[in-house]
Amino acid sequence: MGMMMANVLSRQLIEILVDYNGFSLQEDDDGEVPIVYPEGRAELGAAFLVAHRLRVDVESAGHTHWAPLTVEVWDGEPPIDDSQAWEEKSEVTLFSTSGQLAVWVFAGPEEERIDLGRAQTTWNLRMYSAGRGEVARLAELEVPEGVERYLAHFWEAT
């Protein structure tokens, strides 16, 4: 028998109103988070993903726009996604005490939560982004919707 294929355990689609070129996936219990977003955020043009304790900051190519984030939790390391021509791809690890992540923008936390399905767990996160060149151009003129897109794959770190 070869390697078992990893399977998707859950999938969520969240619409994020990105502001100031970024957002963060942060432990939902923000009393646990030593530095709450956007404090400590890297300068504009930083790396695509920047890991902090109990949070991951995501750098967007557009200032203010609506971006869909697809979140998938897998039971093992997923294959590299080649469903589209991703412009960014990066991997970090993230610990969650509650098993829930909030999406934070400068304006504060968005309403919907990401449910990872397990508390007190360290996760691998591989995130992809597309539509970045386009959103950078369009966000100069308007508040684009659905141009920049994100895919986040979580699986338990072993």
Q: What is the pLDDT of residue 42?
A: 85
pLDDT for 2 equals 55
Res 88: pLDDT: 98
Q: Which residues of the chain fall below pLDDT 70?
A: 1-3
> Alpha-carbon distance 139 to 144, whole Å?
6
> Residue 117: which residues within 8 A CB-CB, separation 6 or more?
9, 10, 73, 99
Half-sphere CA count of 1, side-chain side, radius 13 A:
3
Q: In this predicted structure, what is the pLDDT of residue 3?
A: 67
Domain residue spans of the chain:
8-156
Q: Provide the CATH number for the domain formed by 8-156 in this structure.
A: 2.60.34.30
